Amino acid sequence: MKKILPFILLALVAIPTGLWVAQTVFAPEPAQAKALDFSLPDMDGKMHSLSGWRDKVVVLNFWATWCPPCREEIPDFIQLQKLYGKAGVQVIGLAVDNLEEVKAFYQAEGMNYPVLIGEQDAFNILAQFGETTGSLPYTVVLNTEGKIVAHKLGALDLPRMEALIKPHLNPPLAGVATLP
């Protein structure tokens, strides 16, 4: 009995800790949580308001060109926009970066979705969406009513992105093919 007691105690600590980590690493937001509205310029200086995309399932991605995990997930956001744009999904990049760096990266990567330039203001918006440490990348999913339905700190891949958006499409898409 003395030999298994440490394992039982470890399990009593590890299981609740594991559940807490699972809930905080990918934590759906309550459906009633309305997203903050903000306005920022795009790369051409035209102002855009988040509420302007209210009729879409919005995937709002906070990123920077100097952030390696951000750079790694960009191709999957490009694919997500290609696959689901016509189904009502709008990926929006919110760059925590300067205009010149973002423009060069956008063109080099062939990005196909709007990028808003937040520079230092983006950190305030990031905090208002729940990421108070300033860590990137950070992604928020909003349903067509502008309510926060999920958020994720850290890089996402295409299958996880699809799992986040499909329940919020109208009608919900369960069997949409993904690219290899």
Q: Tell if the pTM clears 0.85, that is, is over it.
A: no
Distance from C-alpha of 118 to C-alpha of 40, rounded to nearest angstrom: 6
Q: Which two tokens stand for residue 57?
A: 């399932």
Nearest to 99 by CA among 115, 75, 81: 115
Kindly report the backbone phi and psi dihedral angles of residue 175, in degrees, each rounded to the nearest multiple of 5, phi listed first. Answer: -120, 30
pLDDT in tens, 42-78: 999 999 999 999 899 999 999 999 999 999 999 999 9
Give bridge partners of residue 40 from the DSSP assignment.
Answer: 48
pLDDT in tens, 7-49: 444 444 444 444 333 444 444 444 447 778 999 999 999 999 9
Cα 69 from chain centre: 12
pLDDT in tens, 116-168: 999 888 889 999 898 989 899 999 999 999 999 999 999 999 999 999 999 99
